[in-house]
């Protein structure tokens, strides 16, 4: 297995985290290629180069950045509009270049968007979003992981590695999955009547 990166692998991590990442890749037998291409063709190539954005915003004539993400202000509203909002990976906040495409950013943006819309509906000025990051996680197997703790601007500080990194990564995944499950139950509509119940009701009426 080979890992190809046009820059330095782990270059955005702290020095200790980068050393652990490289050591884990060596232990797993992963060949690394930096700043270039594979020397030969591969049997299978998996593109992990990042996320892309649907062209809807650009096709609608709305303001977008160079990657096609919808430009929004700190209230998550498109500047110059009153009822057009953007959230998640499809939106980029003006003045917040540190907010990369991520579930961490989206999880903070969604409840803020709901609050902003409700505030506008009440005739008040919507609040500005102020959010940063706490960590970046890399799974290196069931018993090895890397959790890079970061400042709010996503710059690295210390790191949790090894088995504790794997446990921490697992807990974060369980938390994210639990939030989705809880929200789906919280906002789920009640079930409609079953066919047998409807027939019994009609029989009782008639």
Q: Convert the chain into a string of H (helix), E (strand) and C (coil).
A: CEEEECCCCCCCCCHHHHHHHHHHHHHCCCEEEECCCCCCCCCCCCCCCCCCCCCHHHHCCCCECCCCCEEECCCCECCCCCCCECCHHHEEECCCCCCCCCHHHHHHHHHHHHHHHHHHHCCCCCCCCCCCCCEEEEECCCCCEEEEEECCCCCEEEEEEHHHHHHHHHHHHHHHHHHHHHHHHHCCCCCCCCHHHHHHHHHHHC
Q: What is the pLDDT of residue 191?
A: 66
pTM: predicted TM-score of the whole model, two decimal places: 0.76
Q: What is the pLDDT of residue 180?
A: 64
Q: What is the mean pLDDT of the chain?
A: 87
Instruction: Please report, for the chain, the start and end positions of each structural domain, with discontinuous segments joined by +.
Output: 2-48+133-186, 60-121
Segment 44-102, tens digit of pLDDT: 888 888 888 989 999 999 999 999 999 999 999 999 998 999 999 999 999 888 899 98
């Amino acid at each position: 297995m080979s890992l190809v990166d046009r820059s330095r692998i782990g270059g955005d991590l702290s020095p200790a985290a980068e050393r652990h990442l490289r050591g884990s890749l060596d232990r797993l037998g992963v060949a690394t290629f930096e700043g270039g291409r594979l020397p030969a063709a591969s049997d299978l190539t998996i593109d992990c180069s990042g996320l892309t954005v649907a062209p809807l915003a650009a096709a609608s004539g709305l303001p977008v950045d160079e990657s096609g993400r919808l430009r929004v202000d700190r209230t998550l509203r498109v500047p110059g509009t009153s009822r057009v909002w953007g959230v998640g990976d499809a939106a980029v906040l003006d003045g917040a270049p540190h907010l990369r495409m991520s579930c961490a950013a989206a999880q903070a943006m969604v409840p803020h968007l709901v609050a902003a819309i409700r505030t506008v509906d009440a005739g008040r000025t919507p609040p500005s979003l102020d959010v940063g990051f706490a960590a970046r996680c890399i799974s290196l197997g069931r018993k090895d992981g890397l959790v890079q703790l970061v400042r709010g601007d996503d710059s690295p500080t210390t790191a949790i590695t090894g088995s504790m990194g794997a446990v921490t990564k697992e807990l974060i995944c369980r938390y994210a999955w639990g939030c989705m499950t809880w929200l789906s139950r919280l906002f789920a509509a009640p079930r409609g009547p079953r066919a047998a119940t409807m027939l019994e009701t009609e029989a009782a009426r008639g």
